[in-house]
Amino acid sequence: MTKTKWALTFIWKLSLILLIALSLQMFVYHFLELKQSFCLTGLSYLFNFLLTLLTVFILVRFQDRHTESLGYIFLGLSVIKLLSFYFGIYPLLIDYYSEQSKKLAFLVFFIPYTIALTMEIRVLTKRLNLE
């Protein structure tokens, strides 16, 4: 499989999985009558989508030249992702969800983060096992 075809397939799978998760999360929030903001939830999913793409493409780029350091690169990118969430999106979530709903604010980020992280790990292990 060419790199372009692989990249398009990965983008398609990640998009589909995150869209399904977003739909389910919004449905559950609506069904349970929980406070929700589609804009903030969508922003969280978009944020995770874009950073996951960036992370995976950086890992694939460094795979050939720095295979032995790939784990450290992955950990570094994960730390950058968490810090950018903490300083970028977390303040918006806390403003909207207030003190009583900190768990909801956490879930708005944690669900797409976990899904995206699982996809990153899956891609990394598959690519490393090919060698």
Mean predicted confidence (pLDDT) in 51-61: 89
User: pTM score, two decimals?
Assistant: 0.86
Residues 6+ apart with CB under 8 A from 8: none
Q: Is the pLDDT of residue 32 over 90?
A: no
Buried b (16+ CB within 10 A) or exposed e, 92-123: bbeebbeeebeebbebbbebbbebbbebbeeb
* Least confident window among 71-80, 102-111, 114-123: 102-111
Q: How far apart are CA 106 and CA 110, in angstroms?
A: 6
Per-residue pLDDT, averaged over 59-83, amounts to 83
pLDDT band, residue 1 (cuts 50/70/90): low
Over the stretch 3-23, which tens digit does the pLDDT of each residue have?
Answer: 788 888 889 999 999 999 999
Q: What is the pLDDT of the chain when averaged over all its residues?
A: 85
